[in-house]
Amino acid sequence: MNAAAGVSAMRFASTRGQAPQAALSDALLAGLAPDGGLYVPEVLPRLDARDFEPGGDLAATAARLLAPFAAGDPLAAELPAIVREAFTFEAPLKALAGANASVLELFHGPTAAFKDFGARFLARAMARLVPAGARPVTILVATSGDTGSAVASAFHRQPGIEVVILYPDGRVSPRQAHQLGCLGDNVRAFRVAGSFDDCQRMVKAAFADRALRAVRPLASANSISLGRLLPQMAYYAHAALGRWRATGEPLDLIVPTGNLGNAFAAILAREVGLPIGEVVLATNANRVLPDWFASGRYEGRASLATLANAMDVGDPSNAERLKWLLDQRPAARAGISADSVDDDAIRARIRAGEARYGEIFCPHTACAVEVLERRRRAGDDRHFAIVATAHPAKFETVVEPLVGHPVPVPPALAAMLDRPAVAEPLAAEDAALRGVLLG
């Protein structure tokens, strides 16, 4: 990996090295590389805090940051408009009362979780890649909760795009099911009479079906997509630049982590030159990442169910991107650590949040708070930013009994919950999904 020379076209390579390099647009449409690997930049661009105009908003930071990643691609000219349309809400860095710490709030989007940023960017980029008059592209997703609602909301009413979402009937929370079924128009939600694994198998079978795809073009929007990963760097860059200008110090981060998409974006932002210091990965009881760092050996395993269920991942897909990065830049390892938090500690941090910080935390964010408190007990009194990945009202069934009162629902989420919701039933069979897609 060398510093990018000038404005040469950016190409993306597969982590497995057995696929041709692709331009940004092609990598976005493909999702996964043809060799089964994940797309990574062939060359890491070099940016500097001084490349960014002081006083710009999040969209301005995003446009500047992402420009070298789109260099030479048809999307390059569209980038400023894409980020303006996608980032219509901010990601504020707020002081955490009495704690020499801050909270990076990533839950001000329509579905009240950080996935809104990446999904909305990808949707607006893809809408520009489907030629007017061409057959629509169908985004096909299996979801156990948060991803599906962010994707459904992001692609809702995007021209040239249809969305088909499968979720296991009765196994997502009522509020999550409502968010999936309330959009309508180009979004169809199916409640599958089976498990999340059934939904995933059906989706995989559809993607593997060439005859089907010849008639009904399919694309994916899952968290390994480059089009979700890259825009996630923007809020870290923006928050870090703000702190850098105010204090001259880099921003140290504690990031709730499951599939490692969000935290990897923070690490990548640091590696391209943004003033980000340590990145601490806060996992739930799924401790594959802390165990990897402790032993030097990566061993994926089955996932455990926890209260922070959007992070119930036993074999994080983006570990493959982190291994690639550490091969290229072994020095990056010193600025990454990981710690695992069990359900008892999650409960304790949610319970104590209001009295201690005047904040209600979602179960994922609570993992990061616990890791901050462990740092304090170990004598580390640096400033850290806790990353708040979701609004607590999304996880009301966990949070409300612990705080002892209802959690007010933010307006964007309330607006979604006010719409009527419809989900169509579907048998847990590959042929049933095929019928829907060909129908």
Ligand X SMILES: *Cc1c(COP(=O)(O)O)cnc(C)c1O
Residues of this chain that interact with ligand X (CB under 6 A) are 113, 115, 146, 223, 256-263, 310-311, 364, 389-390
Provide the minimum distance between the beta carbon of 392 and ligand X in the complex, in angstroms, as a whole number.
Answer: 10
Q: Closer CB to ligand X, residue 182 or residue 255?
A: 255
Provide the minimum distance between the beta carbon of 430 and ligand X in the complex, in angstroms, as a whole number.
Answer: 27
Give the type of residue at 146.
Answer: D
Provide the minimum distance between the beta carbon of 114 and ligand X in the complex, in angstroms, as a whole number.
Answer: 6
Whole-angstrom distance, CA of residue 285 vs CA of residue 287: 6
Q: Closer CB to ligand X, residue 25 or residue 153?
A: 153
Structure tokens at 153: 């909301």
Q: Closer CB to ligand X, residue 46 or residue 301?
A: 301
Residues in the chain, how many? Answer: 439
Contacts of residue 270, defined as CB under 8 A and 6 or more positions apart, other chains included, come to: 236, 276, 277, 279, 332, 335
Q: Closer CB to ligand X, residue 168 or residue 261?
A: 261
Q: Closer CB to ligand X, residue 137 or residue 226?
A: 226
Q: Closer CB to ligand X, residue 209 or residue 312?
A: 312
Whole-angstrom distance, CA of residue 140 vs CA of residue 84: 25
DSSP string, 15-44: TTS-S--B-HHHHHHHSS-TTS--EEESS-
Q: Closer CB to ligand X, residue 216 or residue 364?
A: 364
Q: Closer CB to ligand X, residue 290 or residue 436?
A: 290
> Per DSSP, what are the bridge partners of residue 105?
388
Contacts of residue 231, defined as CB under 8 A and 6 or more positions apart, other chains included, come to: 62, 66, 83, 86, 87, 117, 118, 121, 122
Whole-angstrom distance, CA of residue 31 vs CA of residue 47: 26
Provide the minimum distance between the beta carbon of 261 and ligand X in the complex, in angstroms, as a whole number.
Answer: 3
- Going 1 to 237 to 370 to 364, the CA torsion angle's sign is negative
Provide the minimum distance between the beta carbon of 398 and ligand X in the complex, in angstroms, as a whole number.
Answer: 12
Q: Closer CB to ligand X, residue 114 or residue 155?
A: 114
Whole-angstrom distance, CA of residue 175 vs CA of residue 395: 9
Q: Is 260 left (phi over 0), alpha (psi -120 to 50) or beta?
A: left
Provide the minimum distance between the beta carbon of 390 and ligand X in the complex, in angstroms, as a whole number.
Answer: 3
Provide the minimum distance between the beta carbon of 109 and ligand X in the complex, in angstroms, as a whole number.
Answer: 11
Whole-angstrom distance, CA of residue 137 vs CA of residue 131: 10
DSSP string, 52-113: S-TT--HHHHHHHHHHHHHTTSTTGGGHHHHHHHH--S---EEEETTTTEEEEE---STTSB
Phi, psi torsion values for 300, nearest 5 degrees:
-65, 150
Provide the minimum distance between the beta carbon of 363 and ligand X in the complex, in angstroms, as a whole number.
Answer: 8
Provide the minimum distance between the beta carbon of 280 and ligand X in the complex, in angstroms, as a whole number.
Answer: 13
Whole-angstrom distance, CA of residue 430 vs CA of residue 49: 50
- Going 313 to 35 to 118 to 229, the CA torsion angle's sign is positive
Q: Closer CB to ligand X, residue 41 or residue 261?
A: 261
Provide the minimum distance between the beta carbon of 72 and ligand X in the complex, in angstroms, as a whole number.
Answer: 28
